[in-house]
Amino acid sequence: MQYRRAGYGARTVAGARVSQRAVVTPVLIALNLLVYVLTAVQAQDFMRNDVSRLFNDGVLWPVGIAAADEWWRLVTSGFLHFGLLHIGMNMLALWILGRDLELLLGKVRFLAVYFVSMLGGSAAVFAFGAVNTGTAGASGAIYGLMGAILVAVLRLRLNPTAAIGIIVLNVVLTISIPGISLLGHLGGLVVGALAMVAMVYAPAKNRATYQTVAILLLTAAIAGLVLYRDAQLSAQLLP
């Protein structure tokens, strides 16, 4: 009672204030749609928007990162999509997964899980993927949300069958359909699950500190992997 009188109100298992409305999720969707429209208008083709200058300058291209220090590609690629079907499927998944997770985590924690998952997917592609292939899409972040949903279900002691089934189905589709980045999806999935463990299993006392440190450690690990791979590629590409 004293906790509520102090103005904190009811809290979720992650420490977020109980809310009935998601705000960040529709903003992320709107931002992705805006970038897609800009690339499509620039390319004058809503299906071949990947030929636009904006798309080419932001796609995850390992050679561009290693040879030209274009580090922004690790982030900007997460807001670019190949055609109408690609962005439609990703934004639908973001809407379905994001709303519930945002209400559980709160705005700041949700953004932390989303972006660290995005970076995890990008780092996996950069570190282990083909060096001269462009990769784009919010799928790394979305798979991170899938991993987060599974951890949340386990923490809340709910039946995990549906969450596991969705993840398995999506991984199978990723493997079966040519041109989809398995590395980006798995990287996001693993990092998102790890981030969510910190969010919902952190002790109530000093919860925010534990959560912040966990996200910082994950980010540092991702940065270390990227820098290690960058050194390898630089040695191969530059005399």
Which ranges constitute the DSSP H helices of the chain?
2-5, 24-43, 53-58, 62-68, 73-76, 83-105, 107-128, 139-155, 161-176, 182-201, 207-237
d(CA 61, CA 113): 24
Q: Which of 122, 139, 176, 181 is catalytic?
A: 139
User: What is the enclosing helix (H) or strand (E) of 178?
Assistant: none
Place of tokens 């993927």: 129
Is 234 catalytic? The answer is: no
Angle at 82 between CA 80 and CA 83, to 5 degrees: 115
Is 185 catalytic? The answer is: yes
Size (the chain), residues:
239
Active site residues: 139, 185
